[in-house]
Amino acid sequence: MILCVVGPTGVGKTKLAEELSQRYDAVVVNCDAMQVYKEMDIGTAKYTKEEDMGKPHFLFDIVRPDEIYTVFDYQRDLRRILKDYADRNVVIVGGTGLYLKAGLYDYEFDERAELNEYENLSNEKLYALLQESGKNTDDVHVNNRRRMISKLNSTGNNGRKDVLLYEDVCMIGLTTNRQNLYDKINRRVDKMMEDGLLEEAESLYKKYGLSKAMKTGIGYKELIAYFEGLMTLDEAVRLIKQKSRKYAKRQYTWFLHQMQVEWFETDYEDFSKTVDEVCAFIDKKRF
C-alpha cells in the first residue's frame, strides 16, 4: 500500500506521515523538493529527531545545497525505492505535487532537459519553445513559468490521460480554513527564526553561495537579500511569510486540479482525531 500525504505547507503533513508509518509499519519517503538537500533543515521544516517515530526514511538529505536535483532525479529515485520496498507499506509525504505525479504516473522525462537549463530564458521565450516543440499549449499560460518548464521537460504525456503506475495508492490531503492556515504559517516562520533560521541561512550562504537551492528555497533567498543589504531583517521575515502563504495557495490549487485527493480537516487541538479519521478511511478503502 502506498499512502500519499499531501497538502499545503504548515498543515501537519509530517506529523500525520509519522503516525501512519507507525500504524501501518511503513517506510517514509520525502516528496518535498527542498528537503532533499542536506543542511537545509530549519527553513524546509524537515522532520526532527523528536518527530521521528523510528521507521526508515528515504530521500531526505541526499544532495548538497550546491548540487542540482531535478524532478527527473526524483522520479528515478522514488521508483527505485518503491521497487526495493514493494513488500512494505510506504508513506510518501510532501507538498511538491509535480514530484509526486512524476513518480507515480507514466510521466517520462528527458534526462538532459534539467530545470536549470531554462533559468535565464524569459517567459515569452519559454512559451515560444513550447510552441516550437509541438506540445499542447492550451492548458498553460505564458506567465505560468513552472508549468511551462514542466511541459518542456515532459516527453511522455502530451495529450494523454494520466495513468497511475501502481496499485493500492491512497491520496490523503490535510486542510484547514485559509485564515487558520495563514496564521499557522506566520507563527511557524516566527518559530523558525527563534530556532536559528537566520544562522542556518548565513552559514549555508557562506559555504555554498548563491546555489540553485539557496536561490529557490523560501526563507533562504529572502535572508540572502538581507545579508546583501537589499532589505532589513524585518522586511525579509515579512516577505518569507508572504511568499509562504502564496506558496500554500498554489499547492492547494495544484492538488485540487491534478490529483484525486481525499481531504481531511486538521484538528490542531487534538491531532489524534485527525489521525483516527484518516486511518478509518484507509482501512475502509483497503479492506
Instruction: List the grid coordinates of 12.
Output: 501537519
How many Å separate Cα 240 from the centre of its chain? 17
For position 6, what pLDDT does the model report? Answer: 96
pLDDT, tens digit, for every residue of 182-233? Answer: 999 999 999 999 999 999 999 999 999 999 899 989 999 999 999 999 999 9
- What do you get for the CA distance between the two ends of the chain, in Å? 12
For position 246, what pLDDT does the model report? Answer: 93
Query: 230-238 long-range CB contacts below 8 Å, 24 or more apart?
Result: 233/198, 237/189, 237/190, 237/193
- CA distance linking residue 88 with residue 69, whole number of Å: 26
Three-state SS at 182: helix
Under 8 Å between Cβ of 8 and 252: yes
Residues written for the chain: 287
What DSSP string runs through 108-165? Answer: -B-TT--GGGGTTS-HHHHHHHHHHHT---TT--TT-HHHHHHHHHB-S-TTS---B-
Under 8 Å between Cβ of 155 and 109: yes
- Say which residues have a Cβ less than 8 Å from residue 198's Cβ, sequence separation at least 6: 223, 233
Three-state SS at 63: strand
Q: Where are the beta strands (DSSP E) in the chain?
A: 2-6, 26-30, 57-58, 89-93, 169-175, 262-265
Three-state SS at 226: helix
Neighbours of 201 (CB within 10 A): 25
Q: Where are the beta strands (DSSP E) in 244-284?
A: 262-265
Closest CA to 99 of 84, 89, 109: 109
- CA distance linking residue 189 with residue 194, whole number of Å: 9
For position 269, what pLDDT does the model report? Answer: 92
Query: Across-strand partners of 4?
Result: 92, 171
Neighbours of 49 (CB within 10 A): 5
The number of CA neighbours under 13 Å toward the Cβ of 34 is 21
Instruction: List the grid coordinates of 265.
Output: 480537516
For position 181, what pLDDT does the model report? Answer: 93
Q: Name residues of the chain where pLDDT drops below 50.
A: 111-116, 155-156, 158-159
